[in-house]
Amino acid sequence: MTAIPLPNPTVPGFHPDPSVTRAGDDYYLVCSSFEYLPGLPVFHSRDLAHWTQIGNALDRPGQLALAKIPTLGGAWAPTIRHHDGRFWLVVTEAMGRGSLLFTADRAEGPWSDGIVMQGVSGIDPDIAWDADGTCYVTYSGLRLDGDSPGDHLGIQQVRIDPETGRALEEPRSLWSGTGLMFPEAPHLYEIDDTWYLLIAEGGTERGHAVSIARSTRPDGPFEGCPANPVLSARSTDRPIQNTGHADLVRTPDGGWAMVMLGMRPRGLTRAFSPMGRETFSAPVEWVYGWPVIRPVEPSPPGPPVEHTDDFTAPSLAPEWLSVRTPAADWSSLTERPGRLVVHADGSTMDDPCPRFVGRRQQHQAAEFSVRVDCSGGIGGLSLRIDELHHYDIEVGAGVARARARVGGIGQNWEHPLPTTATTTGEVTVRIETEPLGGTGPDALGPDLVRLSFETDAGRVELAALDGRYVSAETAAAFTGRVVGMYATEGSVAFDRFRYRGEDPPPR
């Protein structure tokens, strides 16, 4: 098998459910974003190895309706395609309006306001066209609402009018895998006059797998590959687990590659994945009309990565996220030039809509820091999985406070701020993640999370907490860690945000 150099992780950090398309010599990739805004990050590459975020597909009010979406809902499993000179994107607004369709002339946007696809009742939609221009939407028939939520009808398909989103027929059942649970994430392709249906099955946890079937027609009947599942890490000791939810694309050299989600679990029993589901890649070889995929292995660790933001740009960079409500509604980059000012409304990180602006943790060893002017309120840094699982370090009202929220349990650690900091309001707060090793009971978790603050009087660490409680498995989350700034009282100004990350060698 001829391998192409595909780095793993390909897009590190919380970037699940990747879908990829090729337009000429350019590649574009999108991922799920769930309750975060802006939604559906868009990445560009020329070689499938080096990816740059060029925007977010859903970056305007009205494209997603997330304000009342519960945790685990939101923007699920997009598919991006380039067809007939336009980019097409279909996605599920889970626990909301259902399946949505967007278009754009350029992948970086602007994208259309979107339409609800009528007659597509399920999740994980795919969009494809045959040679006659007939448009097919293939999806997973999981019911999220109605009279029978939780029922699963397997892989479904309808022909639609792509201009209106209206289904032109009743759904038909297609091939739904080998019998493993949760057949989902279908993608339909015509390759060398044969139609292939690629799906995920086994659940997005450790049993996740990729299976494939083929037919002479886009609507079947489909025959499964004798070697199914064609990719899975289940019951192996591979450092990358949960591999599944895949998409296929031609490589620059004329071959094929697969992008998929996976997880990098750590800890003594490899049970905890702080960054959740990330994007990985693997080369593909076709043998007797079926894809053969190598096991997904991590790339050697690279040098440390550093990002800085002094908030001098006219708008936030596309990597910055807020929860359910747009950050522009309650923050400003112009009120105090060179600082991000966040206006609190009394909500905390325990609430569904905190005043929070964060970015993904992308390395196992990471350090986040920011300088806080707390003279007008209370705020700091939070490492967040969801409103029930987060660690915070905040300052204000003469006190530095570390907070831990794990389910229904909370704990605080407090320390008075020095007089100089109380007078000026300037304090640096820091969150560090320190990967654990060894074989003792102290190594059960993936890492230590250290919460500290620093003033002219020196640095004080308030807490060193077990990272297992802010991991995807403990929280039963579809997301991963997002770390950023928040305010709970008054108005808080932030500047000199710094991120430094690196990965230790695989264990």
Which of the residues are catalytic? Answer: 17, 184
CA–CA distance, 53 with 43 (Å, rounded to integer): 4
How many residues does this entry show for the chain? 507
| Residue 312 token pair | 């001098």
Rg value, the chain, Cα: 23
Residues forming a β-bridge with 184: 200
CA–CA distance, 278 with 240 (Å, rounded to integer): 10
CA–CA distance, 15 with 359 (Å, rounded to integer): 12
CA–CA distance, 120 with 123 (Å, rounded to integer): 8
| Residue 417 token pair | 């701020």
CA–CA distance, 38 with 468 (Å, rounded to integer): 28
CB count in 10 Å sphere of residue 146: 8
Distances (CA, A) of 177 to 138, 183, 236: 14, 6, 21
| Residue 363 token pair | 């390395």
Integer distance in angstroms from the first to the last C-alpha of the chain?
Answer: 27
Residues 6+ apart with CB under 8 A from 503: 301, 302, 363, 364, 365
Taking alpha carbons only, the member of 305, 381, 352, 309 closest to residue 7 is 305
| Residue 70 token pair | 């519960």
Q: Are 350 and 71 in contact (CB under 8 A)?
A: no
Residues 6+ apart with CB under 8 A from 250: 22, 256, 257
Taking alpha carbons only, the member of 211, 174, 383 closest to residue 290 is 211
Burial class (CB in 10 A: 0-12, 13-18, 19+), 490: middle
Residues forming a β-bridge with 86: 83
- Angle 160-165-167 from CA coordinates, rounded to 5°: 40
| Residue 40 token pair | 């559906």
Taking alpha carbons only, the member of 131, 346, 126, 137 closest to residue 247 is 126
Task: State the residue for tokens 């086994």.
Answer: 202
Q: Are 381 and 401 in contact (CB under 8 A)?
A: no
